[in-house]
Amino acid sequence: MRRNVLVIVMLLAAWLALAPEGRSQDVWHFQNKADAPPGVIAQRQLQRGGPLPGYFQPVEVTGPAGTLIALAAEGAFSERASNKLLAGMLIGPVYRLKVGGIPGHEGAEVFPTIEVIDRLYPPPGQAARFPIPIVLTAEDLRFALDGRYVLRVIYLEDNRTAPPVRDLPGEQRSYEAAPAQDPLEVADRLGRPVAIVRMGSRVPLADEDPSGFAYHDPPVMPIEMPPLVGRNAGLEAPLFAPQRPGMPGRNFAREPATNWR
């Protein structure tokens, strides 16, 4: 019923956007770049119209065991926190998270942002069972605490070229972009980008407007974790059963086609 959702990871202070020499006729013009300010790409997506404005896309964020993930809403971070968060997010705004309880870094906190730039198209009434999965790894959090900048582009793989690989519960396969590559461009060549995660050493300052730090608390739709059913029962993270390439129903998340170029 779904295709695997992968992630492009970029560790950078800055990168070059140079087209490799010798590229013949396969030259694409990309309107968007991953280093655009948070929210810019999603706002451009809204200009396409269609079923994007006003849609709360379910997003599931998972961190290492023991971490506490909270989402900023209504002027404060939610008090109910665990290492897994499921919520509906609009396409367009930027959402701020707080991640604490990081193993080996007691008392430290990281504040990633999520920008949803496209939506999925699940079967009617099953949106909560097919969220965009975002896995924050211990390495990601450690890099952020060290002052590095981690940028992840979550994308739906192209079922025409996707390898028949089984995803393990709680894990997310990733591809690391080279320093001279734009991770959004790489993701677009491999599939359909749906979300951007940015994470660094940014923390709220004592004299800073809390609303500004949280991008003015965009609306959130609470979503309860759906019950485990069928062969998923007993698994820790069962929402995405692996599929073989070409199986019926794998294209629901790909329509309508995106146009980044």
Q: What is the pLDDT of residue 224?
A: 80
Distance, CA of 30 to chain centre: 20
Q: What is the dihedral of CA 184, 254, 161, 248, to 10 degrees?
A: 160
Is the separation of the CB atoms in 235 and 144 below 8 Å?
no
DSSP string, 150-189: EEEEEEEEPTTT----PPPTT---EEEPPTTS-HHHHHHH
User: How many other C-beta atoms can be found within 10 angstroms of the C-beta atom of residue 84?
Assistant: 15
CA distance 89 to 154: 15
pTM: 0.76
The phi, psi pair for 73, rounded to 5°, reads -160, 135
pLDDT in tens, the chain (261 residues): 445 555 555 443 333 333 344 444 444 556 788 889 999 999 999 998 889 999 999 999 999 999 999 999 888 888 777 899 999 999 999 999 999 999 999 899 999 999 999 999 999 989 999 999 999 999 999 999 999 999 999 999 887 877 777 777 777 888 788 888 999 998 988 899 999 999 998 888 877 777 889 999 899 998 887 665 544 444 333 333 333 333 232 233 333 334 343
